[in-house]
Copies of this chain bind each other. A is one copy, B any other.
Amino acid sequence: MPDEPRVVFTPSGRRGPVVSGTTVLDAARGLGVDLDSVCGGRGICGRCQVVPVAGDFPKHGLVSAIDHLSATGATEEQYRSKKGLATDRRLGCMAAIRGDVVVDVPPESQVHRQVVRKRVEVEDLVIDPVIRLYYVTVTAPTLERAAGDVQRLLAALRDEWRLELDVAAAAVAELQSALGAAGGAVTAAVRDGDEVVAVWPGYWERALGVAVDVGSTTIAAHLVDLASGTALASAGRMNPQIRFGEDLMSRVSHVMLHPEGADQLTSTVRGAIDELIGELVDEAGVDRGDILELTVVGNPVMHHFLLGYDTRPLGEAPFAPATDAALDLRAAELDLAVHPAARVYVLPLIAGHVGADTAAAILSEAPHHADEVSLVVDVGTNAEIVLGDRRGLVAASSPTGPAFEGAQISSGQRAAPGAIERVRIDRGTLEPRFRVIGVDAWSDEEAFGDTPATGICGSGIIEAVAELFLCGLLDADGKFAADAPDRTDRMVADGRTHSYRLTESVLITQNDVRAIQLAKAALYAGVRLLMDHLDIDTVEQIRLAGAFGSHIDPTYAMVLGLVPDCDLSKVSAAGNAAGAGALIALLSGDARRDIERVVRSITKIETAVEPRFQEHFVEAMAFPHRSAEFPNLAAAIDLPARQQPAGVRRRRRSREASS
């Protein structure tokens, strides 16, 4: 065998000659190959697993053989028997290179491994761990040289890992006790490559994080292993602030009326998060003290309540937030009982009413990394809207009001068991059938039995109105057709107008239709405004985020004109994009820098000061207001002839061209 065997690492392709006997781990470090290690080459952590590949590699001019690595020794054998090691794998820190060899680094052995995004057309996310663990041996103090524990730990990290660090004040007492218990061998958790935030005696491999999505209705939290990204537990609960007001603005109003009550809203949401953390650690069987890092997302009002900021400025123009930058706080500042040195990363706000939840949705959906123009919509009391592609994003909030959440609807209710969530109306008989949350069967199926419907939720009312329109009972302007009562006895007199009787107790009233029209016109007008700003007429992809986005049928969203025309196969639910973004930010420092940079670059549109918003809003009241704007919808849905709109709206560009 040659004196200077050559090694080639895949998939990086990095290669070079090494001194015979160099371990694979040392070779990887020397060549800048991303190969993980916590124990620093002691055969303890197993993070540096590699797969030697035998074969002829003419491209590299070498013949690789598995036995060009040193034979498995006692330490590696012990690891294999105790913790398990696939037969084709070696510990990189134990396998010495004796001859030419090709070594593959599997994804889980890379610190900066790629995570495949849900959206296949967007480039993968590279994990850049915020917390990394390092096993070190700290020299014992002597009478001659009794340097401080902190100073000896930092010296060990410098010597063994070439790291120049500080130690968080809150981690010092833990360091003392770890050194006392372990006689010098400790594992240090390093945050952001610059600060030791936790120390455990001996070898330790658990550093946990929690991603928190603070919604106005529900708070969800996920516990994950920060090294692997593995989810360990999830928990959610109603936001207990609901007792101060059902929706955001009523909570802000509560503070306006009772300024002294603001602290209570803050402590309520902090307490709820702390209790969720308790549920998570119980479920996973871990300690609160193992949690070193948290991320939080939420809309601007929840963000301000959580941070103890005054929410009142968010309730009135010009809606200036206290701060819109990302924040890096101590968990103790939010009264969260986790590791004493744990930190909380709060994603940036985009504007006074486009929140950190939308920033998180951007991180998850990554429209800024896509070539095609995407529309990301999260509907709540306000609809937060982001539009754009890798060339730039614009964002706005549209005042949809709470109709899409079932509020302001005569029989409306939250999306909860008993609520009608799907509606179909037979085009001939004009008889309805529907589904109720919590029951799999449709109302005309035997299995449905006599399930009572307690009300109708957001997706149900949208489908009901859309179906009423599609079967001709509603005209394009949203009025019940004059002949509707003659066509079906489902139309019942209701004051000076009529209502459609969906069930004995659930009516769809003219006012309900108006409320939906107002909400959807606001949403659509907001989207159009952003399209104006990007000077585009179509969007190539629509992602409906959040609970509402998951419940709503994209076809009906388009029938009603909530969103602009789009290939229906490109309209889809994004799920909990905000929660997914919180998780990404928890796992990757690069992702944090990415979203901070993107948020700074986003053009924020304030609908209230854009004259064109009102114009779009008025035009958008009808459904589907102009068929020429909805070619995809017209192709997909058999609109009744009488509903075909009469004229074709002039396009903005042609208007501008002629002006």
Given A146-B352, A308-B173, A609-B144, A151-B318 contact (CB < 8 Å): no
Copies of this chain in the oligomer: 2
- Cβ of B318 and Cβ of A148 under 8 Å apart? no
A327 CB-CB contact with B under 8 Å: yes
**With known contacts A172-B309, A309-B172, A146–B351 Cβ distance under 8 A:** yes
Tell me whether A148 and B327 are in contact (CB under 8 A). no
> Judging by beta carbons under 8 Å apart, are A146 and B310 in contact?
no
Contact yes or no, B609 A149, CB < 8 A: no
Tell whether A493 is near chain B: CB-to-CB under 8 Å. no
Q: Among the listed B141, B324, B330, which residue makes an inter-chain contact with A147, where contact means beta carbons less than 8 Å apart?
A: B324
Q: Is A167 an interface residue (CB 8 A)?
A: yes
Digit string of A120-158 for contact with B (CB within 8 Å is 1, else 0)?
Answer: 000000000000000000000111101111111000000
Interface pair A322/B150, CB less than 8 Å apart: yes
Q: Which residues from 526 to 580 on chain A have a C-beta closer than 8 Å to any C-beta of chain B? A: none
- B609, A323: Cβ atoms closer than 8 Å: no
Q: How far is the CB of A320 from the nearest CB of chain B, in Å? A: 4
Q: Decide yes or no whether A608 CB sits under 8 A from chain B.
A: yes
Contacts of A170 in B (CB 8 A): 333
A492 contacts partner chain B, Cβ-Cβ < 8 Å = no
What residues on B are CB-neighbors of A352 within 8 Å? Answer: 146
Residues of B within 8 A of A330 (CB): 330
Task: Note all chain B residues with C-beta closer than 8 A to A351.
Answer: 146
> Which residues of the other chain, B, contact A167 by a CB distance below 8 angstroms?
323
Query: Do B609 and A151 touch (CB < 8 A)?
Result: no
CB atoms of A309 and B143 under 8 A apart: no
Min CB gap A11→B, angstroms: 40
Question: Which A164-183 residues have a C-beta within 8 angstroms of B?
Answer: 167, 169-170, 172-173, 175-177, 180
Q: Which residue of B lies closest to A328 (CB)?
A: B169
Interface string of A319-356 (1 = CB under 8 A from B): 11111110101101100000000000000010110000
**Considering the chains assembled together, what is the distance between the CA atoms of A333 and B608 in angstroms?**
44
Interface string of A591-620 (1 = CB under 8 A from B): 000000000000000101100000000000
Task: Please tell me if the beta carbons of B320 and A606 are within 8 angstroms of each other in the complex.
Answer: no
In the complex, what's the smallest C-beta–C-beta distance from A299 to chain B, in angstroms?
Answer: 15
